[in-house]
Each structure stands twice: as C-alpha cells, then as structure tokens.
Amino acid sequence: MHTDLIPSGKRMDRSDLFWLAYLVFFFIEPLIRRSAVYWIESIGIAAIFVGLYLTFLMLRKVNWRLLCLGGMVLLGVLTLPFNGGAIGFFIYAAALLPFVVASVPIVLITLLAETVLLALETWRMHLNPYNAAMGAFFIVVVGGSNIFFGQKQRADCKLRMAQEEIEALAAVAERERIARDLHDVLGHTLSVIVLKAELAGRLLARGEEIGRAAAEIADVEQTARTALAEVRETIGGYRAHGLAAEMDAARSALTAAGVQFEVHGMPAMGLQPAEETVLGLALREAVTNVVRHAKASTCHLRFVAENGRRLLLIEDNGTHTIHREGNGLRGMRERVESLGGTIQLERDHGTRLLIELPDGAGSAS
C-alpha cells in the first residue's frame, strides 16, 4: 500500500481515504461466520480504526501521529485472536510509519519490532502461522517500499520550500530594484519639470519673453512624457539609454538650474551595457542632487580610463545641506558594488563623487 501523505503542510484529501478500501479483508471472517453479534463487534472495531486513521491524517504533530500508529498496532494485537483480518492493522501502521519518521534506521528497527510482535502473538495464542507469515511479508515489503516514497516526498517538500524562498527573495529584490530606479528616474525628471515650470512662471509673471515661457512649458510637457515612458521602462526592467543621452539630460537640467556644466574627457570605449547603465544612473542621481540641494554654480564631469579602471568623477562647488546617505546614493552604491566597483564621496569643499569600476566589470556581473 502506498499513500500520498506528506510529513507536514498537506491537508487531507479524497485520495487518502481510498486506502480504507483494504478494510474489506477485515470483514472476510464476519461474512463466513454470519453472526450478527460478530458483525456488530467487527464494525465497532473497524470504526475505531477509521477514527485512528482519520485522526492521523488531520494531525500535524509527529508525537500525536505516532500515538495513532501505536493505537493501530494495539488494536491489531487485541483483535487478531478473534479475526485474522486484523493483520491489516499492522500493515497500515507499517505503511504510514515512513511518512512520519525521517530516520531510515529507526523505521527499519520499528518494522522489525512489529514483525517480531506479530510472530510472538501468533506463537503464544496458537494462531494461523500462514496468516502471520503473510502479514510479516507485507509489513516488510509495504513499509520498506514506503521508506523510498517518504524520503522522496520530504525531498520534494524541501525543494518546494526552497523554490518558494527563492521566489520570495526574487520578488523582494525586484521591488527594491523598482524602488531604486523609480527614485532615480523620477527624482531627476521631476526636478527638471519643477525648474522649468518655475522659470516659465517667472517669465509669465513679468510679462516678458512670452515665447521663451511657451518653450519652457513645451519642455515641461515633453519632459513629463519622457518621465512616463521611463517609469514604464523601469517597471519592465529596460531603462538604459546610454551615457550620451544621460549627459545631454544632465546638461539640460543643470542649464535650467543656472549651473555651468563642463565635461572633461570622453567615456571609455567598449563599455558593457551593465557598466553604461550604472554610470548613467549614477550621473543622473548626482545631477539631481546638484539641482536640488547643492546651490552650485559649476559642475564638472570627468571620465578617466587608466590601469584597467574606469573612473567617473562628478564635482560641484555647492554647499550641500543634506549629509546623510539617502535612497538615491544607497541605490547608486548597490549598483556599483554589484559590478565590483567602489564609490568615494567627499563634501569638504563642494561635493566630489568618484565612481571606480574595474575593467570588464559588466561582463563579469
């Protein structure tokens, strides 16, 4: 007899009740004897066994389940002298034991003890030895074969738990990625929208340069559309526009904020997509901080490639009022470190942000 029971975490279903069909062998002797009293006694004993079986299926604690199995064996010991079909109670206990006890040696020893108990009762009570031999055979065969199924189901249960944990960790990582990327994308873009809207408002308030104000409003609309597209791309995981595009966006944002932007050097040739994405998002976050907090008049961007390293240096002459590491810088640091790189941040005279990536970091990640 094989069962679909799992050591823990599985509810009883209809397939578990199927194995009660083997109780038909317990009613062979009542059919032969044709005694109403014997029938009533047999039905009562069978009802006790069914109660033990169903209780076993519903309980989760190992000790209580072992107690139910012990009750099945005891019921078999008490009933066997009057009904040879009680051998089935021993077999049920042997079949279910491997799904409760994980230790194979303990299961084998228990099956051997059950077989010896059956043999001793047969000898002392002068019962049918052929019936006992058949019962011992099924105890060993069924109990032994279910050791394999019990171990397999435990392995499947562990694998399923591991997969669920991996899926949970992946979901957490994805939520963190979206949070970081939305912060970087929206922080930069909304800062540009605010700056341009304020500029357009000032122009309209003075009643001067209506054409320029209209152009700024048009830029606000275009920037908002770009932000919407970037949010969609961020959620989908496709956000890299390249360093060139980020440099253009940085120049536009800094110019709108009245900050002079100077670029020294060019990005290293042969940057991997992962490297370009990390450097582009780092530049976006740094420029956003300059626009929001620095009160700077100049911002310098330097690209250096030397001794197998790729360096990105962003400096401004502002006075930052916020010194703690926020979500943006923390996300930047996580991205850079994921490629084996480092970040150095100094705020003594203005702000100096140095990002260093090892050569070939993108292909190694």
The pLDDT assigned to 121 comes to 93
Which residues of the chain fall below pLDDT 70? 1-13, 170, 174, 177-178, 181-188, 205-210, 228-241, 269, 320-325, 360-365
Interior/surface letters 36-71, b for 16+ CB within 10 angstroms, e for the rest: eeeeeebeebbeebeebbeebbeeeeeeebbebbeb
Residue-wise DSSP of 203-230? HHHHT--HHHHHHHHHHHHHHHHHHHHH
DSSP 8-state symbol, 8: S
CA distances from 30 to 33, 47, 48, 125 (A): 5, 15, 17, 20
The pLDDT assigned to 169 comes to 73
How many CA atoms lie within 13 Å of 125's alpha carbon, on the beta-carbon side? Answer: 18
Q: What residues have CB less than 8 Å from 110, skipping those under 6 apart? A: 97, 101
| Pair 130, 138: CB distance under 8 Å | no
The pLDDT assigned to 316 comes to 92
Q: From CA 333, how far away is CA 355, in angstroms rounded? A: 9
| Pair 361, 274: CB distance under 8 Å | yes
How many CA atoms lie within 13 Å of 203's alpha carbon, on the beta-carbon side? Answer: 15
CA distances from 225 to 92, 111, 235, 245 (A): 69, 73, 16, 16
CA angle 242, 244, 245 (to 5 degrees): 70
The pLDDT assigned to 238 comes to 45
| Pair 314, 350: CB distance under 8 Å | no
The pLDDT assigned to 153 comes to 86
Whole-prediction pTM? 0.50
What phi, psi does 302 have (nearest 5°)?
A: -125, 135
| Pair 241, 280: CB distance under 8 Å | yes
- The end-to-end CA distance of the chain, in Å, is 51
The pLDDT assigned to 290 comes to 85
Domains of the chain (ranges; CATH) run 14-166 (no CATH), 240-365 (3.30.565.10)
